[in-house]
Amino acid sequence: MTQKVNMRELFLDMQQEMIMKLNSLRKHITHAPSKGDAVELSWIEFLSTYLPNRYCVDTAFVVDHKGTCSDQIDIVIYDQQYSPFVFCHAGVKYIPAENVYGVFEVKQNLNKQHIEYAANKAESVRKLERTSVRIIHAGGTYPARPLFNILSGIITTTSDWTPPFGKSFNEAVGALKQLQLIDIGCVLDSGCFLLQPKGTYDISSMDETLVFFFIKLFSLLQNLGTVPAMDIDLYSQALDSI
């Protein structure tokens, strides 16, 4: 006998589990920096659990072959298949810009200041110089991949605005420059927003926020395909013997 599973219930159970975990952190951790770190780690764990294994998730800096470095990013979603070098120095990760699919900032509240903060972090990554080289395989050669736009987002628990996605929200996101645009955001108790091609945002229902965020994020990542293969020769020029 064929058994049917209620997919909506599975998604909502996943959402409720994450909400309960975040609520527990807010209740039991009162020191601000520690609470922020714990929330970031919870989101990293959540994304690492539910995204396919091809996507790595960490807090990190992003660098290019010239040694230019981004601001520190709360959550970097990256790939190690075609751009395998991730540098770790004194416990801090430095991820080559070619590896990166998306960058996210985690804050308690959604407001103008935090939108601008996340937008500036995204800009510090997007302005880095990325390389792309051809990939040799058993059947021949794949041409160098065109560079895609690195995704950016903001994740918060609540919003300072009432309504959360009204005039103040639209004015804040409408003032962002091209390299600062936020593709997706999650306000856990209010809804998720997703940038559309015409510059407007789709908004989820409040009771399906996390489900909407995860599904739309996964769809955005799928649409990017694979990261470009980095030109390791350019990175290796930092060495005296090359």
Cβ neighbours of 181 (radius 10 Å): 17
| CA 162/CA 109 separation, integer angstroms | 12
pTM of the model: 0.90
From the number of C-beta atoms within 10 Å of its C-beta (0-12, 13-18, 19+), residue 9 rates as exposed
- CB-CB contact of 235 with 96 (8 Å): yes
Q: Are strands 56-63 and 73-78 parallel, antiparallel or unpaired?
A: antiparallel
* Torsion sign across C-alpha atoms 179, 45, 11, 190: negative
- Give the pLDDT of residue 20: 80
Residue 111's SS3 state is coil
In a domain, 3, yes or no: no
Range of the domain at 166: 8-236
Catalytic choice (107, 123, 183, 216): 107
In a domain, 36, yes or no: yes
In a domain, 30, yes or no: yes
Based on the residue annotation, tell me whether 107 is a catalytic residue of this protein: yes
- Give the pLDDT of residue 240: 65
Q: What is the pLDDT along the chain (242 residues), one digit of tens a residue?
A: 677 778 788 878 877 887 787 777 666 565 556 566 788 888 999 899 889 989 999 999 999 999 999 999 999 999 977 777 788 888 899 999 999 999 999 998 999 999 999 999 999 999 999 999 998 878 888 899 999 999 999 999 899 999 999 999 999 999 999 999 999 999 988 999 999 998 899 999 998 898 899 999 999 999 999 999 899 889 888 776 66
Based on the residue annotation, tell me whether 202 is a catalytic residue of this protein: no
In a domain, 150, yes or no: yes
- CB-CB contact of 166 with 158 (8 Å): no
| CA 58/CA 221 separation, integer angstroms | 16
| CA 183/CA 67 separation, integer angstroms | 27
Sheet holding 87-89, edge to edge: 87-89, 92-96, 56-63, 73-78, 100-110, 151-159, 184-187, 191-195, 201-203
The total number of structural domains that make up the chain: 1
In a domain, 2, yes or no: no
Catalytic choice (79, 105, 123, 183): 105
For 140, left (φ over 0), alpha (ψ -120 to 50), or beta? left
Based on the residue annotation, tell me whether 171 is a catalytic residue of this protein: no
Catalytic choice (74, 98, 123, 183): 74
- Give the pLDDT of residue 32: 56
In a domain, 241, yes or no: no
In a domain, 34, yes or no: yes
| CA 174/CA 172 separation, integer angstroms | 5
Tokens standing for 233?
């020769």
- Give the pLDDT of residue 135: 82
